[in-house]
């Protein structure tokens, strides 16, 4: 059951796009972890830099997507922004890396 909730949360986050890059936050490697504690789903995510232009909106978008996907089943959601470890391009999924011109 817990794994199914984690996968639903991940699927919801795949619908949250960085507006500058047009790539979802999961493919960008911004989601560091998803865990379920009872009826609470906690997502640890980061941004590419602390001064990221979407620093105020992207976590809100993620929270709204999670709430839409899980709220009707009684789950509370919480998006926590973390900076450790710092994001690097190595976290990009292969397709996102290719889209952004990173070679592997």
Inside any domain, residue 29: yes
pLDDT at 2 over 80: yes
Domain hosting residue 17, numbered range: 2-98
Question: Which pLDDT score is estimated for 53?
Answer: 86
pLDDT in tens, 3-37: 999 999 999 999 999 998 999 999 999 999 999 99
pTM recorded for the entire structure: 0.93
Q: Which of the 8 DSSP states describes residue 101?
A: T
Burial track 23-38 (b if 16+ CB lie within 10 A, e otherwise): bbbbbbbbbbebebee
Question: Which pLDDT score is estimated for 10?
Answer: 98
Which runs of E-coded beta strand occur in 1-104?
17-18, 23-24, 31-37, 40-45, 76-81
Number of structural domains in the chain: 1
Inside any domain, residue 77: yes
Q: What is the CATH number for 35? A: 3.30.300.130
């Amino acid at each position: 059951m817990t794994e199914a909730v984690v996968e639903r949360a991940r699927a919801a986050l795949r619908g949250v796009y960085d507006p500058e890059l047009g790539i979802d936050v999961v493919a960008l490697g911004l989601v560091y972890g998803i865990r379920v504690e009872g009826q609470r789903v906690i997502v640890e995510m980061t941004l590419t830099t602390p001064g990221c232009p979407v620093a105020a909106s992207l976590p809100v978008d993620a929270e709204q997507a999670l709430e839409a996907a899980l709220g009707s089943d009684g789950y509370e959601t919480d998006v926590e922004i973390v900076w450790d470890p710092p994001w690097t391009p190595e976290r990009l999924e292969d397709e996102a890396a290719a889209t952004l011109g990173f070679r592997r």
